[in-house]
Amino acid sequence: MKEIKGVIFDIDGVLEFQGRVYPGAVETVNGLKDRGIVLRFLTNSTLKSRASCAAGLRKAGFRIDVDEVITASYATAVYLEESKPRSCWIMLEREGLNEFSRFTHDEENPQVIVVGDNRSRFDFDHLNKALRLLLGGAKLVGMTPELIDSSMGAPELNVGSWARMLEEASGVKATYIGKPSRYVFELTLRSMQLRKNEVVMVGDRVPSDIRGASDFGIRSVLLRTGEFDKRDLHGDIRPDVAFDSITEVLTLF
């Protein structure tokens, strides 16, 4: 790990969990910045924009700039900028929707349907409307493939569950953006201007954080915090290092 110049941190389950910041998390992040380590904060949250996510972390004491944060909503907006769709139906609410202000929004005849966390509108009428549009030729993008989220307590259906349902029902293959998808790791590494061997991913979830890092070809540190489930280690994915506390990350440097 001596050649590591950059760290990608997951947020929920690593820096904080269920609304509470982990002891030592602020000191660890700020200490790495003081050492000149390039940091990125990569979250599968779609409800938050980069700005709102960074503001919340700064309020907790983290020295974080907006351009160091990559949310699934922001990464999806970058993907759409690159693919240049004629129009989109962005199924999302709260601050994350701000990332899509520069696109043409059309719920009647969109070229692309983008599924985020659209909690209040995941109902019979809207989902059936999305299904018919997909059957009529619209493309499908899922902001994250994760099926379940427990970061705020009780398990909840996550974005991937809704996108997968539409995918299966329509037969339209979805493009997924967030972890563990390769695209979001490519975007993050490009923003760091570092090589793969110079970066490590720190996360609590084996199926998204650790698998994503492994598939992309960067090393990983698993924290046994947050949504870590030891049963996930029974598969073929293994972290390079595992710790019980975020403060132990400093020992790598």
Residue 170 has pLDDT above 80, yes or no: yes
Whole-prediction pTM: 0.93
Q: Is 227 found in the same domain as 214?
A: yes
pLDDT for res 185: 97
Number of domains in the chain: 2
Contacting residues for 105 by C-beta, under 8 A, at least 6 apart: 87, 88, 89, 90
Structure tokens at 146: 């994760």
- Is 170 found in the same domain as 186? no
The residue range of the domain holding 123 is: 84-176
Is the pLDDT confidence value at 167 over 80? yes
Is residue 148 in a domain? Answer: yes
Asked if 95 and 157 sit in the same domain, the reply is: yes
In the chain, pLDDT over 70 holds for what percent of residues? 100
Q: Are residues 201 and 161 in the same domain?
A: no
CA distance 198 to 5: 5
The answer to whether position 137 is within a domain reads yes
Question: Are the beta carbons of 43 and 16 closer than 8 angstroms?
Answer: no
In a domain, 95, yes or no: yes
Classify 43 as helix, strand or coil: strand
pLDDT of 77 higher than 90: yes
- The residue out of 156, 176, 196 marking a domain boundary is 176
DSSP class per residue in 54-82: HHHHHHTT----GGGEEEHHHHHHHHHHH
Strand order in the sheet with 69-71: 69-71, 38-43, 6-9, 199-203, 219-223, 241-243
- Is residue 97 domain-resident? yes
CATH number at residue 155: 3.40.50.1000
Q: What is the pLDDT of residues 205-247, one digit of tens each?
A: 999 999 999 999 999 999 999 888 888 887 788 899 999 999 9
How remote is the C-alpha of 149 from its chain's centroid? Answer: 12
Q: How confident is the prediction for the chain on average, in pLDDT?
A: 94
Name the pairing type of β-strands 112-115 and 139-142. parallel
Question: Are 143 and 169 found together in one domain?
Answer: yes
Residue 67 in domain: no
User: 21: Cβ–Cβ under 8 A, 6 or more apart, which residues?
Assistant: 15, 60, 61
